Amino acid sequence: MRIACPFCGERENGEFTYLGDASPKRPNFAVDGGESPERVEDAFYDYVYLRDNVAGVMREYWYHGGGCRSWLVAERNTVTHEFISVTAAPGAGAASAVRAGE
Amino acid sequence: MADFSWNVQSPLQQALVPGRHGGAGTQVGVTLEEVRGVSLVQVMARRGRVAETIKAAKKLFSVEPPDTPRAVSGRNATLIWSGPDQFMVLSARQTGDQFAKLTAGFAGVASLSDQSDGRCLIRIAGSGARQALAKFSSLDLHDSVFPAGAAATTAVDHTAVNFWREPGSVDENAVFNMLVFTSFADSLWHTILDSCLEYGVQASVAHAA
Amino acid sequence: MSGYSRSEPLARTAPMEANVRKGVTPASQSHRLPGDGIIDRRLPLQFSFDGKTMTGFAGDTLASALVANGVKLVGRSFKYHRPRGIVTAGSEEPSALVEMRTGARREPNTRATTQELYDGLIANSQNRWPSLRRDFMSINQLFAPIFVAGFYYKTFMWPAKFWESIYEPMIRRAAGLGKSAELPDPDHYDKAWAHCDVLVVGAGPAGLSAALAAGRAGSRVILVEEDTLIGGRLLSDGGEIDGLDAREWLRGAARELVSLPNVRIMTRTALFGVYDGGTYAALERVSDNVAMPDRHQVRQRIWRIVAKRSVVTAGAIERPIVFPGNDRPGVMMASAVRTYVNRFAALPGKRVALFTNNDDGWRTVETIERAGAHIVAVIDPRHEVPAQYQRLVDTYDLRVLAGVVSEVKGGVDGVRSIVVANDKNGLTQRIDTDCLAVSGGWNPNVGLSCFHRGKPTWREDIAAFVPGSAPKGMATAGAANGELSLSACLREGHGAGARAAAECGAAGKPGEASKADDEVYAIAPLWHVKGKGKAFVDFQHDVTASDVTLAQREGFESVEHLKRYTTLGMATDQGKTSNINGLAIMAEATGRTIPETGTTIYRPPYAPVAIGAFAGHHRDENFHATRLTPSHHWAAKQGAVFVDTGLWKRAQWYPRAGEKDWLETVTREVLAVRNGVGFCDVSTLGKVDVRGADAGVFLDRVYINSFSNLAVGKARYGLMLREDGIVYDDGTTSRLAEDHYFLTTTTAKAGPVMQHLEFCRQVLFPELDVQLTSATDQWAQFSIAGPNTRNLLRALADPSEDLTNEGFPFMGAREVKLRGGVTARLFRISFSGEMAFEISVPARYGAAMAENLMIAGKPYGVTPYGTEALGVMRIEKGHVAGPELNGTTTADDLGLGKMMSKKKDFIGRVMAGREALTAPNRQVVVGIKPIDKARRLRSGAHVIPKGAIPGPQTDQGYVTSVCFSPMLDQWIGLGLVERGRERTGEIIRIHDPLRNEDYEAEICSPVFYDPEGVRQRG
Ligand SMILES: [Zn+2]
């Protein structure tokens, strides 16, 4: 398998580490912001545990740890192993970025 | 009070035995060199301060730092791309606090980390260099893909290394540089040396000038 | 390709002059022909087979040399110990498998047909006892019924104990092929990468055409060929190309390819795997053609080839016909007969019978007749002589018989006669022959194109499967694509090569395709001749036609079931000559068509690959990369014993003369620290430079406690959770400047924590201005501990440094100047519970630091200590480590619940509050002391209440860490025990069924030593 790091170019998959589904977003909440603890806990439960078992194109986190140390978001077909796109995480590099959902 | 001497030690103190190794007869297909006495500083732009970082680098080194995987020669230093919006500054170690000087030059716009002791610089050249490198590097080092001045952050033996081809080194004289983590240096040296033995190796120690 | 050396495609192996035994005459080569052959008669080679010395020539394979010496019997079969010979001349060989070399280099199941001959080669036949000619186990043939399909399943079901005592030893003796060496392999192997635009697999006429087209167009081309020579069938069958003799054309093609700097030819290199994204794997047999690899040379090398496009021109394999006695030595594929004669000038038989159902088999006639031998009969079930070969009938006065071979007679030395049956009138006749050449048609090599679950499709006109689809970027051409004529191979190969080059952006011209006359290839499928006696489908696994039909009768009709029930195609040859015949017989038995019956799934490796080659350089001390601490060589000089901690080598203890065991050493080290001063290299802890305006806020989010409020010049212990609320890692983090923290991790988690922190920085909190750099290797860090620590440091530090409690209080962190001009970072932190500091200097000073600590601490009896003493002291102080941070414990389980900030969000905060993670009956960290002070506590032992019967219901936890405590003079431990903190003083039962121990112990505070912490603050 070869993964095209947007910074480094195409590399063999041994340089990368797989994390999993890139769709769940870590819930944002303000401590003592008045949100019900149950709702916050439910949101985190979804974020931590609930995953779709996709047969087809899926967005995934990959880490180029054996390279530029960038976190990447890849669209990959889990059936054919074909990568459709690979983009950098919002905070890779030093460009100004905002937290997801803000 | 007792006197304390602070002898410096290279991580290859034991592994690197200068002289000829392997091969048949007197043939030397690969030269392997540890370059000692280097100063190495990791420069990472602060968030939203990429333009200022480039400016500061240009002021210090009279050259823009690479924004793609390349190594560029600047005033008294080589700037090597090491990731998005970051690069390493490689220069000969001098007396005085080089790190403090650089920190001042990038104050407020970039974060610096002294890596002079965190890495070991190994240089590989010779007619068998590419063949030997193919045994431990997954990179395509063909001229058309990896010309002089090309750089990569990659893995050797599952360990991250900074790799670049010396700017200006062409054809049979291509020189490849590798910065490996200090603690891995002894082990990787053996792997590299083993990979080179069939071509005949000249191993030596050089000092950064 | 500058810098790469190219193998010389037409060069032959030239053994070293010294190895050539003088005075050996080739007289023994009774079946060697005069005339061409691609062998070098100037270089005779001596070899031995089953102890008998013979000679061959450079360019021979072991098989061709055996043929030249008139040897037909080369082994005994797997189950029935039937005499077996050479069937093919290629890598598909299912029968002529030998044991190569001796001693540590002994290797079983080597195909004699691919083993290059070298001077001094030693080979032995396999699976025979006591000798090849008199094999006692051939009695197995009489017990044949127990070896039928599914015999493992049927025979050995009952009684179970018979399996171990009788059946298995018997089968191990009787079955199996060859013995592997029992000594470690003395040879080296490695792996290498190669990159190209166009990878061409197979250097026959199609592959050469593809490589020429792509190479001329300017693409970077790699041409791999498993054979020692390029040319494929041209080496055996010749022909005419562009008006030239095939060998002449071949020389021209080779010259042109070698002249192209962008083409790399790799011979002796077999492609065995196709992987995602254009990655291919090939095995190069670097030194299999010599007795012993040259010094510094590997035996074999695995290539991982990255290619934008590939053209598979891997040819086709001639398939046998299944008829009674078809495994008799001397029954050989017709194409192999031609190869032995034309390429190797070795004659498999002097009176050859030919059994073919297709036109291609007829080529054999001319080969044999021109070699001065005779075709005694041509048996063709088609009842008609192909028009293009009619002339042969007249020229050689051929005896052509319409029908099939229904019986083969002969002895261990091979076929003596055959019986031919006319399938129309039922008449039979006997024909004397010493070699039966067989051709059942050609199977294109579809394997590589099917490795990504591709299904081949059936082509009726050639009665064979052809590639149905191919992995992305791959094209198939020539015989591998079902185009069996030379002209089609040249044309298709050229086209595929040119297309692949264009797709890679090559702008040059591919030139013209070479031309040859069109040939006709006609075939009438013939799979199985029924009759008396065993008719073999799979020669290597001894699977017969009746095994296949038996499987069908017993309901194993699917090809995947057929394969597993009969073991058809599961031997080292992976059924290259047998699979299609097997499924054709199954199709016939079930009344389905062959495409309906289908093929089994194709998987790599295409050809056998030694495990050693897969391991490559990574064995023994190179199994994985190792990391050395800055004081490693110094510690080695002190006689330290090292322990592997992840990739690190760490000093475990420093034995002294006269110490009787490690425990005595470790106890001495602990007492030296607690009573004086000692030091330990702790450089292995992960260290991260955390910088940026938001560094403090960032750390607040990744740690459960706060760091933004940490004062510059101070250190703090921090704990990280995973997002699910379980403890992830711990360590001390110091604030060295407003925008600079220095974070440490455990040794084990340094890498994962760095990855996690980068995830937090880049994915979760990209708005923060924070930069992370691993600084683990930059610093040599030592822990200095014991009541005399300050005295030692005063001797080492510049007199201007204030190291008093006021000037450098507990948890202080700042730079200090050392005597001699080096600046260090000093952290007043303690893992041992003693007055302690950790000191860091740039790694280049690591060895000097160790030496200087010895000098500075000499008046105080300074003692270097290892990880074991470190462990003892942390257990005495109740500090948690790896065994407690075990991926199931919460902060509160570790007694650190109070550290969790309530004022901020942090990783793991919300999930840590879940009911199950806050339940009152959780297992928490406690101290454990055996009541009997002489008892040795062992980790892993279960904790159950006193008086309870051990079992899952009464199990309340276990002992996690133990040590002999010199301070308490007994074994102590930490454990995770249900409601442990409420149970201080309770007597519990320690139950250890694994080590058969059972005793009582007391639950106590985990802090065994100096619970008030007076010593570390002193
Ligand atoms: Zn990258």
CB pairs under 8 A between A and B: 63
| C607's tokens | 């050809």
The pair of three-digit structure tokens given for residue C345, joined into one six-digit string: 């000038």
pLDDT confidence of residue C137:
66
Domains C1-141+149-183 and C321-439 share a fold: no
Task: Output the pLDDT for position C276.
Answer: 94
Instruction: Give chains near B: 3+ CB pairs under 8 A.
Output: A, C
CA of C606 to the centre of ligand 1 (A): 33
Query: Which parts of B46-174 fold into alpha helices (H)?
Result: 50-61, 98-105, 129-133
Answer whether B30's CB lies under 8 Å from B125's CB.
yes
Q: Is C254 helix (H, G, I), strand (E, B) or coil?
A: helix
Task: Check if the interface score ipTM surpasses 0.95.
Answer: yes
Query: Quick one: closest CA in B to A15, which residue?
Result: B155
For C1-141+149-183, CATH number?
3.10.20.440
Identify which of C752, C814, C755, C779 has the alpha carbon closest to the alpha carbon of residue C682.
C779
Helix (H, G, I), strand (E, B) or coil at C813: strand
**For residue range B41-90, what is the model confidence (pLDDT) as tens digits?**
999 999 999 999 999 999 999 999 999 999 999 999 999 999 999 999 99
Q: How far apart are the first and last CA of chain B?
A: 36
Q: Which residues of chain C have pLDDT under 50?
A: 1-26
> What are the C-alpha distances in Å from C390 to residues B39, C363, C365, C399?
83, 12, 11, 12
A99 touching chain C per CB within 8 A = yes
Would you say how long chain B is, in residues? 209
| CA A4 / ligand 1 centre spacing (Å) | 8
Cα–Cα distance for residue pair C383/C402, rounded to 1 Å: 5
Between chains, do A65 and B49 touch, taking CB under 8 Å as contact?
Answer: no
Class of domain C920-1017: mainly beta
pLDDT digits (tens, 9 = 90+) for C562-618: 999 999 998 888 999 999 999 999 999 999 999 999 999 899 999 899 999 999 999
Is C36 buried (19+), middle (13-18) or exposed (0-12) by CB count in 10 A?
exposed
Burial of A49 (0-12, 13-18, 19+ CB in 10 A): exposed
Nearest CB neighbour to C220, from listed B7, B142, B184: B142
CATH assignment of B19-36+118-207? 3.30.1360.120
- Beta-strand (E) ranges in C92-154? 97-100, 107-111, 121-125
Residue-level pLDDT at A34 = 83
CATH node for C189-316+444-503: 3.50.50.60
**CATH code 3.30.70.1520 for B38-114:** yes
What pLDDT, on a 0 to 100 scale, did the predictor assign at position C176?
Answer: 58
Per-residue pLDDT, B209: 81
CB atoms closer than 10 angstroms to residue C660: 8
Residue A30 pLDDT level (bands cut at 50, 70, 90) = confident
Which one-letter DSSP state was computed for residue C164? I
Q: With DSSP H G I counted as helix, E B as strand and the rest as coil, what are the percentages for chain C, rounded to 5?
A: 25, 30, 45
This prediction has a pTM of 0.94
For residue C35 the two structure tokens come to 């005339």
Nearest-5° Cα angle at C200, C194 to C201: 95
| Interface-testing mutation among C193, C741, C852, with chain B (most B C-beta atoms within 10 A) | C193
Q: What tens digit of pLDDT does each residue of A59-77 get?
A: 999 999 999 999 999 999 9
CATH architecture of C631-684+778-874: 2-Layer Sandwich (3.30)
Q: Tally the residues of chain A.
A: 102
Environment class of residue B16 by beta-carbon count within 10 Å: exposed (0-12), middle (13-18) or buried (19+)?
buried
Per the document, the length of chain C is 1018
Going from the Cα of A16 to the center of ligand 1, the distance in angstroms, rounded, reads 9
Give, in degrees to the nearest 5, the angle at Cα C334 between C400 and C546: 90
Could you give the 3-state DSSP secondary structure of residue C823? Answer: strand
Residue-range domain boundaries for chain C: 1-141+149-183, 189-316+444-503, 321-439, 527-607, 631-684+778-874, 686-774, 920-1017
Instruction: Test A11 with B158 for CB contact under 8 angstroms.
Output: no
Q: Assign domain C527-607 to its CATH superfamily.
A: BFD-like [2Fe-2S]-binding domain (1.10.10.1100)
Q: Are C876 and C967 in contact (CB under 8 A)?
A: yes
Average pLDDT over chain B, rounded to whole? 95
Closest Cα of chain B to C615: distance in Å?
Answer: 13
Spatial separation of the C-alpha atoms in residues C806 and A56, rounded to whole Å: 64
Cα distances (angstroms) measured from residue C208 to each of C229, C472, C773, C1002: 12, 22, 51, 80
Of the candidates C795, C778, C788, C782, the one whose C-alpha atom is nearest the C-alpha of residue C831 is: C782
| pLDDT for residue C127 | 74
pLDDT for position C926: 98
Q: Which residues pair with C734 in a beta bridge?
A: C715, C742
Inter-chain touch A91–C275, beta carbons under 8 Å: no
- Compute the distance from residue A24 Cα to the ligand 1 centre, in Å: 23
Sign of the dihedral defined by the CA atoms of residues C642, C646, C648, C650, in that order: negative
Q: Which of B153, B157, B161, B164 to mutate to test the interface with A (most CBs of A within 10 A)?
A: B153
Reference B150, options B77, B81, B78; nearest CA is: B81
**How far apart (Å, rounded) are the C-alpha atoms in residues C249 and C574?**
34
- Which of 2.60.40.10, 3.40.640.10, 3.50.50.60, 3.30.470.20 is the CATH number of C321-439? 3.50.50.60
Q: How many CB pairs under 8 A join A and C?
A: 86
Which residues belong to CATH 3.30.1360.120 in chain B? 19-36+118-207
Q: Which of C624, C724, C762, C765 to mutate to test the interface with A (most CBs of A within 10 A)?
A: C762
Amino acid (one-letter) located at C495:
G
In this prediction, residue A33 carries a pLDDT of 80
CA distance linking residue C772 with residue C971, whole number of Å: 42
Flag whether residue B136 sits within 8 Å of chain A, measured between CB atoms. Answer: no
Q: What pLDDT shows up at residue C21? A: 39
CB pair distance less than 8 Å for B143 and C2 = yes
Q: With an 8 Å Cβ cutoff, is A36 touching chain B?
A: no
Q: Which two tokens stand for residue C967?
A: 């301070």
Strand boundaries in C818-941, DSSP class E: 823-827, 836-842, 863-864, 923-930
- Domains of chain A as residue ranges with CATH: 2-88 (3.30.2270.10)
Query: Which of C305-329 are b and which e, b meaning 16 or more Cβ less than 10 Å from the residue's Cβ?
Result: bbbbbbbbbbbbbbbbbbbbbbbbb
Distance CA C175, CA C82 (A): 12
CATH number of C686-774: 3.30.70.1400
Q: What is the dihedral of CA C783, C784, C787, C788, to 10 degrees?
A: 180
